[in-house]
């Protein structure tokens, strides 16, 4: 039980994993290419705030760090849609009391690193891995250092250097696919030390082929993200000068310019970043395995990137226990168990982009949401909406995707029959029986 | 018109492309990581013989090298199937006079290199490219040399080092997928200086989930290739000792052991190799572009890997002429035009594996082949079988795939109706009209 484990990548997943493995009694070393975020302010390459939900909260509680994270959370109980005429409508995410939580990435990472160090995980910053011997679990760093141990775990993100070593081996399946959209972050300051928008919602400006969203920050600011095509008639490429940028926001997001006085400056100076999905198979080679984004980077539209990574940590631990931490069994067993769920959330995240930017403003979609809420109200145990299965349960993602597709089909049938338009005449029991029969 | 073009990779596609560009008046340098195949006998990492057909022959003729290649060709006019009881049946590939050609890879490469050098293409061997500046069209080699020019073209195969530089750029889509099968080559010697099997057929031993094939060589030997699962009940992993290998061949390929006296030795000593499909998008970055396997490696089951690479050379030249060799236009225009066809032949090649190893022995498939031949006989211009569109025409692969799917559906309909069982009652005109209406 005194295995030496080296973890490459001390981001959210790596630091939580290191902490959990240390708590199981292993010797753990964490290597991170960047500097210590507690000492220097990082120029973030990634989004500032994230949506923490059920699948992420469980592992934080299991690690005993949730109480240190809780003060930084801002609950978001639903979507608040902003129309082109600045009208507001609300869609709750779940039942009364259910919500997701805006959390600052950097603060969460600091809490996890602090807890890991306190429990004697050794953390080494400014260690960029260059070469990995997968079978021997050895890793070399660009500063000349190297590390060896019994197991090597790569949690070094979507552009994982550990995975790159795996890509050079025979019969390693890999894909990286970018969507046609990029994103740009914009910042809404506090107004008179108050939030400029209702902080307890995730704000969405759905505009068909593109959208703007805003999440609250702990300092009463909001971080907006514009998800927008790179090319085309209305795209990053088409907004070249100040007048074009200004016209664009006036036309599509009329309530934004008053909230962001330096909008043009931000738009011209904040970077545009791309959105990648990566898949690979297998996740392990020899004594080396990858977890989190290194194994399955997804687009952010279901708010499940970090949550799925934390769930990886939970499941890795559960499989570890079940095989008595026999690494030769653990690595393939975990991969086999988890791969289909990673593929499912990857698909769900891409699907949800279309829902968020387009469907949420579609009358038929609103009818469907209403119908689903009515079914769920009457049969809360028999019909759990897809969003709830993904966000408020531990059900495997692949099962949620499978059931969600069946539900979607049944609701299409009901909507086509127009039955939802005469609610008093609707036979909810029949709908639920139809679902049960096809499950 | 005096652009300096550097081509990385002097295999089949690279050497033909270099030759053709030289013939257009450009200064061309060819860089190859291996030694000169005319001076040293290479340990082949790839298959020994290939099937040259229509799409490959045209570009060889246009380059004026077909006459030097012709003496090495062995025509194969159809498939000869070997059943488990060693019975033989024949399926012609096309009409009388149509055939594909077994050709030795190394000989073809030598002819192309020789012709390129004769026309003042500079060829540099033992130049392994390490780093590419895509925007500047500069390339560095592991021997310390480097090269710069106006355009850089990567024809360095499925594991292209030029493509690896592209993979590091933002928004580069890439996938590499291996199939569950690997392959192993086995050699059938000549018997009394004669071919051991009929040399004018491609021999297939279809066995459902796996198969053996054999292609004739110019020296009256045959090269057999076993396409076989890596894992499973009957797989490379399951054949561990001499008895198991021997039993396997006796059971599934009873006519093989008498033809290969050292079968066990060959099986145990010849390497097992994997089968990859790669896709990427875009194919160009800055002043750099990739062609052939570097851009679209496919599995070998349609015999179109080399042929599609040679067709790349033809189309690159045609697009070049159409834009007056304006490289800024040529690179994106060629990629846009050709990408969908590369995707189509990639899909066709995977589909044909199932056809070759399984369907060719299926009575229903044989009925379909017979039906299709009957339709084609009566309406040769209106109904060209998919295999012929791919193998004996210049029709874009994507169009062949599209039409082939429609044909397949119509034939399924006819077979289900059982109409083909009473040929005299069949309304061929109606079938052709159905096809025309859906085309």
pLDDT tens figures, A196-230: 999 999 999 999 999 999 999 989 999 999 999 99
CA B183 to CA B301: how far, in whole Å?
A: 12
pLDDT of residue A105: 93
Q: Is B150 helix (H, G, I), strand (E, B) or coil?
A: coil
Helix extents (H) in A178-241: none
CA A338 to CA A280: how far, in whole Å?
A: 12
CA A304 to CA A342: how far, in whole Å?
A: 10
A292 secondary structure, DSSP code: T
pLDDT of residue A360: 78
pLDDT of residue B423: 74
Query: What pLDDT digit, counting tens, does each position of B376-424 carry?
Result: 999 999 999 999 999 999 999 999 999 999 999 999 999 988 878 887 7
For residue A176, whether the previous peptide bond is cis, meaning omega lies within 30 degrees of 0, is: no
Query: What pLDDT digit, counting tens, does each position of A72-109 carry?
Result: 999 999 999 999 999 999 999 998 899 999 999 999 99
Q: Find the length of chain A.
A: 439
Chain A residues 207-236 with a CB less than 8 Å from chain B = 230
Q: Using alpha carbons, select from A70, A22, A117 the residue that is nearest to residue A317.
A: A22
Whether pLDDT at A41 is above 80: no
At how many degrees (to 10) do helices B12-23 and B305-322 cross? 20
Place of tokens 């928004």: B171
**What are the chain B neighbours of A176 within 8 Å (beta carbons)?**
167, 172-175
Least CB-CB distance to B177: which of A173, A176, A177?
A: A173
- Give the tokens for residue B413: 């309909």
Whether pLDDT at A44 is above 70: no
CA A181 to CA B390: how far, in whole Å?
A: 36
Ramachandran region, residue A192 (left: φ > 0; alpha: ψ -120 to 50; beta: rest): left
Least CB-CB distance to A177: which of B167, B173, B274?
A: B173
Q: Which of A48-52, A232-236, B189-193, B233-237 has the lowest mean pLDDT?
A: A48-52
Whether pLDDT at A42 is above 90: no
Residue A45 near chain B (CB below 8 Å): no
Whether pLDDT at A149 is above 80: yes
Encode burial over B46-69: b for 16+ CB neighbours within 10 A, e otherwise: ebbbbbbbbbbbbbbebbebbebb
**What are the chain B neighbours of A173 within 8 Å (beta carbons)?**
176-178
- Which among A350-359, B215-224, B352-361 has the top mean pLDDT? B215-224
pLDDT of residue A424: 78
Percent of chain A with pLDDT over 70: 98
CA B273 to CA B279: how far, in whole Å?
A: 20
Residue A177 near chain B (CB below 8 Å): yes
Query: What pLDDT digit, counting tens, does each position of A254-279 carry?
Result: 999 999 999 999 999 999 999 999 99
Q: DSSP letters along B392-425, please?
A: S--S-HHHHHHHHHHHHHHHHHHHHHTGGGSGGG
Please compute the mean of the pLDDT values over residues B93-111 and round it to a whole number: 94
Q: Which residue of A has its CA nearest to B175?
A: A175
- Give the tokens for residue B397: 């692969």
- Give the tokens for residue A335: 């991969």
Please list, in sequence order, all residues whose beta carbon lies within 8 angstroms of the beta carbon of residue B199, skipping any fewer than 6 positions away. B74, B216, B220, B222
Place of tokens 């190859």: B32
Query: What pLDDT digit, counting tens, does each position of B318-341 carry?
Result: 999 999 999 999 999 999 999 999
Residue B243: its H or E element: helix B242-252
**What are the chain A neighbours of B178 within 8 Å (beta carbons)?**
170-173
Query: What pLDDT digit, counting tens, does each position of A289-329 carry?
Result: 999 999 999 999 999 999 999 999 999 999 999 999 999 99
CA A350 to CA B69: how far, in whole Å?
A: 50
CA B320 to CA B147: how far, in whole Å?
A: 23
Whether pLDDT at B284 is above 90: yes
Query: What pLDDT digit, counting tens, does each position of B125-177 carry?
Result: 999 999 999 999 999 999 999 999 999 999 999 999 999 999 999 999 999 99
Q: E strands, A146-271, where?
A: 146-148, 151-154, 173-188, 202-206, 211-216, 222-229
Q: B5, B29 in Cβ contact below 8 A?
A: yes
**What are the chain B neighbours of A172 within 8 Å (beta carbons)?**
176, 178
* A175:B171 CB<8 A: no
pLDDT of residue A193: 94
**What are the chain B neighbours of A274 within 8 Å (beta carbons)?**
170-171
* B175:A174 CB<8 A: yes
Q: A350, A299 in Cβ contact below 8 A?
A: yes
Residue B171 near chain A (CB below 8 Å): yes
Whether pLDDT at A123 is above 60: yes
**What are the chain A neighbours of B174 within 8 Å (beta carbons)?**
174-176
Whether pLDDT at A351 is above 60: yes
Whether pLDDT at A423 is above 80: no
Does this model's pTM top 0.90? My answer is yes
Q: Is A183 helix (H, G, I), strand (E, B) or coil?
A: strand
- Give the tokens for residue A323: 């095989």
Residue A172 near chain B (CB below 8 Å): yes
pLDDT of residue A425: 77
Q: Using alpha carbons, select from B355, B255, B253, B261 the residue that is nearest to residue B299.
A: B355
Least CB-CB distance to B175: which of A171, A175, A178?
A: A175
Residue A311: its H or E element: helix A305-322
Average pLDDT, chain A: 95
Residue B177 near chain A (CB below 8 Å): yes
Please compute the mean of the pLDDT values over residues B50-76 and round it to a whole number: 97
Higher model confidence: residue A43 or residue B340? B340
- How far does A397 lie from chain B, in Å, by closest CA? 24
pLDDT of residue A47: 64
Residue A354: its H or E element: helix A327-357
pLDDT of residue B358: 84
pLDDT of residue B43: 56
* Interface probe with B: pick from A170, A229, A274, most Cβ of B within 10 Å: A170
pLDDT of residue B362: 83
Encode burial over A399-422: b for 16+ CB neighbours within 10 A, e otherwise: ebbebbeebeebbeebbeeebbee
Report long-range pairs for B409-415 (Cβ below 8 Å, ≥24 apart). Answer: B410/B434, B410/B435, B410/B438, B411/B368, B411/B371, B411/B372, B414/B371, B415/B364, B415/B367, B415/B368, B415/B371
pLDDT of residue B46: 55
Residue B272 near chain A (CB below 8 Å): no
Please compute the mean of the pLDDT values over residues B5-27 and round it to a whole number: 98
Q: A362, A411 in Cβ contact below 8 A?
A: no
**What are the chain B neighbours of A174 within 8 Å (beta carbons)?**
174-176
Residue B257: its H or E element: none
* A171:B177 CB<8 A: no
Residue B55: its H or E element: helix B54-62
CA B285 to CA B328: how far, in whole Å?
A: 10
Whether pLDDT at B42 is above 80: no
In degrees and rounded to multiples of 5, residue A396 shows phi and psi of -55, 135
Q: A395, A342 in Cβ contact below 8 A?
A: no
* B175:A172 CB<8 A: no
Q: Which residue of A has its CA nearest to B182?
A: A171
CA A295 to CA A8: how far, in whole Å?
A: 13
pLDDT of residue B47: 64
């Amino acid at each position: 039980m005194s295995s030496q484990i080296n973890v490459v990548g001390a981001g959210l997943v790596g630091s939580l994993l290191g902490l959990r493995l240390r708590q199981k009694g292993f010797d753990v070393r964490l290597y991170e290419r960047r500097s210590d975020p507690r000492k220097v302010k990082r120029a973030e390459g990634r989004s500032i705030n994230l949506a923490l939900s059920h699948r992420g909260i469980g592992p934080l509680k299991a690690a005993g760090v949730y109480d240190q994270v809780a003060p930084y959370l801002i609950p978001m109980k639903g979507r608040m849609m902003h129309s082109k005429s600045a009208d507001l409508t609300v869609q709750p995410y779940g039942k009364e009391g259910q919500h997701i939580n805006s959390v600052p990435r950097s603060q969460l990472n600091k809490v996890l690193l602090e807890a890991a160090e306190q429990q004697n995980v050794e953390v080494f910053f400014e260690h960029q891995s260059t070469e990995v011997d997968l079978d021997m679990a050895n890793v070399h760093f660009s500063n000349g250092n190297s590390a060896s141990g019994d197991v090597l775990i790569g949690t070094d993100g979507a552009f994982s250097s550990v995975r790159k070593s795996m890509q050079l081996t025979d019969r390693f399946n890999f894909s990286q696919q970018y969507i046609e959209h990029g994103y740009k972050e914009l910042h809404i300051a506090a107004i008179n030390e108050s939030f400029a928008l209702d902080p307890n919602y995730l704000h969405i400006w759905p505009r068909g082929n593109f959208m703007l969203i805003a999440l609250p920050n702990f300092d009463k600011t909001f971080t907006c993200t514009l998800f927008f095509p790179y090319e085309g008639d209305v795209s990053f490429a088409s907004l070249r000068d100040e007048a074009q940028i200004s016209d664009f926001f006036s036309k599509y997001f009329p309530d934004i310019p008053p909230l962001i006085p330096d909008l043009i400056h931000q738009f011209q100076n904040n970077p545009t970043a791309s959105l990648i999905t990566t898949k690979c198979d297998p996740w392990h080679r020899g004594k080396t395995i990858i977890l989190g984004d290194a194994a399955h980077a997804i687009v952010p539209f279901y708010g499940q990137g970090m949550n799925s990574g934390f769930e990886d940590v939970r499941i890795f631990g559960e499989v570890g226990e079940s095989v008595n931490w026999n690494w030769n069994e653990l690595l393939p067993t975990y991969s086999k168990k988890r791969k289909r769920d990673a593929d499912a959330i990857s698909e769900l995240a891409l699907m949800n982009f279309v829902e968020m930017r387009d469907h949420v403003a579609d009358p038929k979609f609103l009818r469907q949401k209403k119908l689903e809420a009515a079914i769920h109200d009457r049969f809360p145990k028999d019909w759990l909406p897809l969003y709830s299965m993904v966000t408020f349960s531990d059900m495997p993602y692949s099962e949620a995707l499978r059931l969600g597709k069946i539900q979607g089909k049944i609701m299409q049938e009901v909507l086509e029959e127009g039955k939802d338009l005469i609610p008093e005449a609707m036979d909810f029991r029949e709908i639920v029986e139809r679902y049960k029969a096809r499950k």
